[in-house]
Chains A and B, each alone.
Chain A
Amino acid sequence: GAVVSQHPSWVICKSGTSVKIECRSLDFQATTMFWYRQFPKQSLMLMATSNEGSKATYEQGVEKDKFLINHASLTLSTLTVTSAHPEDSSFYICSTDLGVGDIQYFGAGTRLSVL
């Protein structure tokens, strides 16, 4: 069964609005979650590492004020795309490693389309 649940699977929004994506760990506690971005026909690029109870660690070039990450509980991390623009349209995927390191379990992804 699924280890990570991501919601919504698809969202369409108007330019300038904010969109929140949720990533939940099912039946386990995830102190760390990862957020990736994937453009069409391209690979996954790590955006940030979400740490429960502390600030997220952002990769170089990722605007932390643009992509707000909150990991307030051990089962939920959220990514909010603020003031979304068409260039933010992408496939966003979260994952966690269950705290055991190498193996990451991915959510089904969220396709964001900004009009």
Chain B
Amino acid sequence: TQLLEQSPQFLSIQEGENLTVYCNSSSVFSSLQWYRQEPGEGPVLLVTVVTGGEVKKLKRLTFQFGDARKDSSLHITAAQPGDTGLYLCAGVGEKLTFGTGTRLTIIP
């Protein structure tokens, strides 16, 4: 069974601070995705990283795929209340395997 562990599980920080969320697995994935989910809604895709070592930026969000394609990180700079949500990484293989999730709360 492929498992994707995310850390931290919960994170609550002040507006303007930076943060990093980690996604780790013992399995290799062809690519890895990050989603954000708001309460009562389905996840929305933020990014897909494909190449080992790849870095992608989406405004204040920076995503990195590990060299071995087993882990990934999401870094948010100058967090804003609108960043609040559940962040999920997902390994792409025969099927999509979701990580354990990180619930992020940005305090105004």
Contact = CB atoms under 8 A, between A and B. Distances in A.
B92 A102 contact: yes
A106 B96 CA distance: 12
A102 B33 CA distance: 9
Contacts, number: 47
Nearest to B44: A106
Contact of A106 (B42, B48, B95, B103): B42
* B interface majority secondary structure: strand
Most buried by A among B42, B88, B101: B42
A111 interface: yes
A102 B31 contact: yes
Interface string B84-96: 0000100010011
Interface residues of B, number: 19
Contacts of B42: 4, 6, 93, 95, 106-109
Contacts of B99: 43
A36 B42 CA distance: 10
B51 to A, nearest CB: 14
B28 interface: no
* A interface majority secondary structure: strand
Given A43-B101, A103-B48, A107-B42, 15 more contacts: A4-B42, A6-B42, A9-B40, A42-B100, A44-B88, A44-B98, A45-B98, A49-B95, A102-B33, A102-B48, A102-B92, A104-B45, A108-B41, A109-B40, A109-B42
17 contacts: A9-B40, A34-B96, A36-B98, A41-B101, A41-B103, A43-B98, A43-B99, A44-B98, A46-B96, A102-B48, A103-B45, A103-B48, A104-B96, A106-B44, A107-B42, A108-B40, A109-B40
